[in-house]
A and B are shown apart, each in its own frame.
Chain A
């Protein structure tokens, strides 16, 4: 596609529910990143995929958060037992190889609201 696509653009859920957020990276990009941006803050790193594998998941806040990228393209961020503190914009980015200081291409994000 032309850019990184994230769906849905908005998600409202209730405390305790399970949610899935989807990211479609730019075709051919092997590196994929998830970030979380709370109101008034900069994006915070969550996880980095190189191909199908999670090369660095040190930013995931706890075991309620999990992400997959089974075919090395589309990625899904999964959040179990959502809490009000999970409310934020979840950003996905991709880059061609993930090596060096490559430009990251960001999607427009999914605004998650936990009521």
Chain B
């Protein structure tokens, strides 16, 4: 079945460092890909998405490009802030009814 694999955390960075969180997927069809974020004490929120190959999703300085050839959707940000500390989930959707999530990657940013 479809699945998502994320790099294990925690990822610990200093403020203004470059961030990459790796995500790869397995799917039989042509899924849409998502990054969701969970800030401390809050519910999951959509960060960005891409619906077809070579699409780039972006939001709040974060970017991810849908790479069909490598089945990847890595999350990047050029300069992280303390306020970016959260758990990040990669997910895919092959239909309207369900998302399949990775296990999540905790990001800790220190001043």
Which positions in A face B, CB cutoff 8 Å? Answer: 3-4, 31, 33, 35, 40-45, 48, 55-56, 59, 91, 93, 98-109
Find out whether the CB atom of A56 lies under 8 angstroms from the CB atom of B98.
Answer: yes
Q: Are B101 and A44 in contact (CB under 8 A)?
A: yes
B43 touches A107 (CB 8 A): yes
Q: What are 28 contact pairs spanning A and B, CB under 8 A?
A: A3-B43, A4-B43, A31-B96, A33-B98, A35-B99, A40-B104, A41-B104, A42-B4, A42-B89, A42-B91, A43-B44, A43-B89, A43-B101, A45-B100, A48-B97, A59-B98, A91-B44, A93-B44, A98-B97, A99-B96, A101-B51, A104-B44, A106-B36, A106-B44, A107-B43, A108-B41, A108-B43, A109-B43
Majority secondary structure, A binding face: loop
Q: Do A104 and B100 touch across chains, with their CB atoms under 8 A apart?
A: no
A102 to B32, CA, bound (A): 11
Which B residues form the contact surface with A (CB < 8 A)? 4, 32, 36, 41-46, 49, 51, 89, 91, 93, 96-104
Residues of B within 8 A of A108 (CB): 41-43
A101 near B98 with CB under 8 A, answer: no
Residues of B within 8 A of A59 (CB): 98
Say how far B55's CB is from chain A's closest CB, in angstroms: 11
Residues of A within 8 A of B91 (CB): 42
